[in-house]
Amino acid sequence: MSTAEHEKGAVRETPDRYGAFPRLTPEQLEDLSAHGERRRTAEGEVLYREGEPFREFLVILSGTVEILSDQGGPDERTVAVHGPGRFLGELGLLEGQAAFNTAVVREAGEILAVPVERQRALVGSDPVLGDLILRAYLGRRYLLIGLGAGFRILGSCYSRDTLRLREFAARNRLPHRWVDLERDKEAEALLRRFAIRPDETPVVLWQGERLLRNPSNAELARLIGLPAPAPAPSAENERCEVMVVGAGPAGLAAAVYGASDGLTTVTVDAVATGGQAATSSRIENYLGFPSGISGGELIERAVLQAHKFGARLMVPAEVSALTPQDDEYIVTFTDGSRARAGAVVLASGVRYRRLEVPGIDRLEGISVYYAATVHEAGLCRADPVAVVGGGNSAGQAALFLAQHASGVHLLVRGGDLNADMSRYLVDQVEQHPTIEGLLHTEVRGVAGDEQLESLTVEDNTSKERRELQAAALFVFIGARPRTEWLKGVLALDERGFVLTGADAGAVADTNRWASLGRDPMLLETTLPGVFAAGDVRSGSVKRVASATGEGAMAIRLVHEHRERKGNLVTVGPEGRRPEAGGPVSSR
């Protein structure tokens, strides 16, 4: 929209085509009025600015407000224009992040301003209003990601640090744009403008003035307001009753149930909240969501729920060691900081296995991916792509990518989709007009200088090979647990998954457990008070619902561990078991 149009007052409201810009009802406006204050606005007034934290939830009562990306910069563009009854902000408001756009008053009027903390409480207590706001904010976040708004990552496609920063931004669902030093015409001008030497890249640029040279994930997190840990608290001054390692579905369930039970609960993750579930475009067999729910939306709801009950989330925070000490545990992080925990829930999940094909490593992060999110889909445009794998993750990825690519080759090593994929997904995949399922098919080679151009695939029964055109390859071929740091600390199975329950009891130190007068409980490891939940646990069912259930169950067992002396359960003065938590039910 041009400056002349603004001066003439020709500002038209953006239509709400995708549910991202809903209008509040008069009843909702009246309810919100009790929690905020009315304020007059002036034309040109900036209500909040990109890069700064949100302080208020704003509702337009009269007048219009324009939302701008990169305001005042060379890439300034209008994201949306809102009129009376609409509210401002996006997902960062609920999660304590900085704003990824700027709100400017175009037609003077009146707004209702509600303090952010009060608004977050309202979202948690009013299910109708909360659902409306959350869905709108999720839609706006994905809109910003699609526009390439937010910060820029300036770096070479051949740089591992560039790949690291891009993966961190994508996994945390952060609006950003990658400027490739090797191919983007804008790159050289930016290097000169900010006096950046090529050997100082990758760099992160935001708002034309903030510049981080090859930042760590934690430094980038702090820039945009993610709850990254502050440098190094000692074990003496940082203690929690439950430390949850991993923030996927199991870890977030443990955070919600632990905090709602009144336990001081800290949940940490090395990369992002959500784990593999957050990369799923749609989960259709999760109880309570008959029309399905995206992994991103499910995780954002869980994060808000954990915050509601007072759980503390720290991202990124990578654990490097677990040490028993005085019936508790010292948790050590890779930055050298430590914390003490009364009990530990291991929910670190799994990572997808890499595809072992000659030359593929140089294309990873450029056109070979191990997740299929909005970010990766946006890079495919209308080109054909290939998905490797025969499980649910591969099926969900193929269906999602079919909305963006001109065609999807689904490459399955086995001879039957039904072997590892849910029936409802098989039906959708087989009926989709742009998905080609190729059974008994394996990738043997990749071609392309700067990015993937084609694949060499082989029929593993006939050994016949052929070329497939593909601009991107998405790999979902099984997973390995994130347990390297636990070797020698507690018992793992032959594949590295954590042993629990009877399996743990069979190999546990009998002297340690004899002193307790009991064996490991169902989800307990070979260390008393250390539990494993979700995909990281040996023998677990690799489904989101089961991971969530195990996270909740782990907290129940934490209570049992805290209350039991030997084989007896501690009882209160009237023969009743003491309450484990506060007034909120954990059932």
What are 337-355's pLDDT values in tens digits?
999 999 999 999 998 888 9
549 near 287, Cβ under 8 Å?
no
Pairing of the two strands 465-469 and 454-459: antiparallel
Task: Tell me the C-alpha distance between 107 and 116, whole Å.
Answer: 24
**Assigned token pair, 278:** 């957050």
Percentage of residues in the chain with pLDDT exceeding 70? 93
> pLDDT, tens digit, for every residue of 459-492?
999 999 999 999 999 999 988 999 999 999 999 9
**Assigned token pair, 134:** 């959350």
Whole-number mean pLDDT of the chain?
89
Lowest mean pLDDT among 219-223, 242-246, 580-584: 580-584
Element housing 131 (H / E): helix 127-147
Torsion angle (degrees, nearest 10) of CA 271, 425, 498, 267: 30
pLDDT of residue 365: 79
CA angle centred on 522, ends 544 and 270, rounded to 5°: 50
356 near 478, Cβ under 8 Å?
no
pLDDT of residue 376: 79
Task: Tell me the C-alpha distance between 356 and 224, whole Å.
Answer: 35
pLDDT of residue 451: 85
Longest dimension (CA), the chain: 82
Question: Can you list the positions of beta strands (E) in 450-493?
Answer: 454-459, 465-469, 472-475, 479-481
pLDDT of residue 33: 94
Task: Tell me the C-alpha distance between 504 and 499, whole Å.
Answer: 5
pLDDT of residue 230: 59
**Adjacent-strand bridge partners of 328:** 325
356 near 545, Cβ under 8 Å?
no
542: pLDDT strictly greater than 90 = no
Q: What is the DSSP letter of 279?
A: G
492 near 484, Cβ under 8 Å?
no
pLDDT of residue 6: 44
End-to-end CA distance of the chain, in Å?
A: 53
Task: Tell me the C-alpha distance between 473 and 523, whole Å.
Answer: 37
Mean pLDDT of 203-222: 91
235: pLDDT strictly greater than 50 = no
Lowest mean pLDDT among 32-46, 318-332, 375-389, 508-522: 375-389
pLDDT of residue 577: 39
**Assigned token pair, 560:** 């049992």
Mean pLDDT of 153-157: 90
Measured from the Cβ of residue 528, the count of other Cβ atoms closer than 10 Å reads: 21
